[in-house]
Copies of this chain bind each other. A is one copy, B any other.
Amino acid sequence: MLLTMDNPVFQVYAVAAALAVLKLMLQGWMTVYRMLASNSGLVSPEDLRKGLINKNPHPDQLEPSDYVERSRRMHRNDLENIPAFLAAGLLFTAVNPPLLVAQVLMYGFVLARLAHFLAYTTRQSHEMRATFYTVGSVIVIAMACYVLWSALG
């Protein structure tokens, strides 16, 4: 059976998908950390109430802050890529690709997203960030095309 842990391709998918899920969830926590560390980047009017999270409220805390917004942009970029990878990778596994191809594409996606994260966090050039985005995006597109070709062929 293809969608079980007995299938080595599914094992590769499970590892890559679990790492991609962790990347996505941890990006939310990076935004939380940056909001707390910089005491800015809040989004709802009620967040200006005094409390454990916000001991000295100030209206400026609702102004966008690049430090916090950068993490939100990284999160949005993840949302535009990771859920599509999770679905495309499962379908790709279901059409029984060669193990080596699955390893290269799936671990390649995880590495490309990790590199994108590092380039975005450290404010590298648009060109470098775009390169890693492209690698991840092309991998997802290639897997979806392979699935279509298998299903319709």
Contact = CB atoms under 8 A, between A and B. Distances in A.
Contact of A123 (B14, B15, B29, B46): B46
A133 to B, nearest CB: 8
A124 to B, nearest CB: 7
Interface string A76-90: 000111111011101
A54 interface: yes
A17 interface: yes
The binding surface of chain A is classed by DSSP as helix
Contact of A47 (B43, B126, B148): B126
A120 B17 CA distance: 30
For the complex formed by this chain, how many copies does it contain in all? 3
Nearest to A24: B84
Interface of A: 1-5, 10-11, 14-15, 17-19, 21-22, 24-26, 28-29, 32, 42-47, 49, 51-54, 66, 70, 73, 75, 79-84, 86-88, 90-91, 94-95, 120, 123-127, 130, 133, 137, 140-141, 144-145, 147-148, 150-152
